[in-house]
Amino acid sequence: MVKNIVVKNLSVGFPTKQGVVQAVDDVSVVFQEGKFTAIIGESGCGKSVLGQALMGMLPNYVVLQGSVLYGNLKASAEVFLQNKIYGRELGIVPQNPSASLNPTRKLKKQFDDLLEAHGVFDKDDSIKKHWLHFFALDDADRVLVSYPDELSGGMQQRFLCALAMSLEPKWILADEPTKGLDEETCSIVLENLLKIKELGSVSMVIITHDVKLARNVCDKTCVMYAGQMVEQGTDVFNTPVHPYTKSYMQALPENGFKPLWGRAPNLSDALQGCKFAPRCMFASEICRQAVPETKISPHGEVRCHHA
């Protein structure tokens, strides 16, 4: 059975004293099994909240509309736990390796904690060593008896990838895997993700600001702005259609570092029409009054009145 992750008209709101803040606003997208898909956009656009929804990890107090389906299962912590989805089918490569590992426990213990929680007892360390070697941690014996702070940032990142792959999940969510990392460690992240892709057995959603990472690793890219999916497709970096995607590309160093004027709207702002209209040079009256519908574009879909 093909197990895509299908998002249909998903909205996620967080209750506050000022009202509900809409972090994800009417998003529909299909993450295809066997593909690597990037979700990009400015900070605060809703990428990580969408990622939590895909993994069934949203807190109980959110105001939720629409649905996320994994195969024929509705994505929620309760459903995924009951069906033993976590670990064996859905894995995570978290951001910030040093903050994701327990500093008081040796890495062997942390690896065994994960495996044994899923009924896997790796007494001879063969599973651990296989995946450590796969991610170029060749001195596996030394790594396993080390504490996290005895490894470099790049080695910690390799260890987290080995941890995520040890149960051979069908899907992995990588949440900002290069955030806050130096250039050398970012290169290691890119290398690791490409190695996972070459296996051909894993699908992945990568939430990132790193356009280089998304461009080099992913088959499809989804662009978010102010909680909405404004564009998605297989060639958005070379042939962007939405005005925001074009501006996002122009802001890259290789394109002249041209900043997008204005600021992204506060998610609590009640805006009519297109949320990008206040910053868009092509905006017309319909853009300020009516929410644009999603249209077919040459390489995917775009949400713009004038696309």
**What pLDDT score does 99 carry?**
83
User: Quick one: how far is CA 118 from the chain centroid?
Assistant: 24
- Residue 243 is encoded by which pair of tokens? 């005005």
Q: What is the pLDDT confidence band of residue 92, given thresholds at 50, 70 and 90?
A: very high
The token duo for 146 is 């080390």
pLDDT at 290: 96
- Rounded mean pLDDT, 131-156: 95
Which residue shows structure tokens 């656009």? 45
- Show Cβ contacts of residue 233 under 8 Å, excluding neighbours closer than 6 positions: 220, 221, 241, 297, 298, 299, 300, 301, 302
pLDDT tens for residues 31-85?
999 999 999 998 889 999 999 999 999 999 999 999 999 999 999 999 999 999 9
38 touches 203 (CB < 8 A): no
CA 168 to chain centre: 19
Token digits for 56?
């069934």
Least confident window among 2-6, 84-88, 181-185, 226-230 = 181-185
pLDDT for the residue 134: 95
Question: Residue 264, SS3?
Answer: coil
Which pTM was predicted?
0.93
Question: pLDDT tens digit string along 220-267?
Answer: 999 999 999 999 999 999 999 999 999 999 988 888 888 888 888 887
pLDDT for 262 = 83
Distance in angstroms (rounded) separating the CA atoms of residues 139 and 253 = 38
The pLDDT of residue 150: 96
Asked if 57 contacts 80 with a C-beta cutoff of 8 angstroms, the reply is no
For residue 27, which of 204, 197, 255, 229 has the smallest C-alpha distance? 229
> What is the per-residue pLDDT for 252?
84
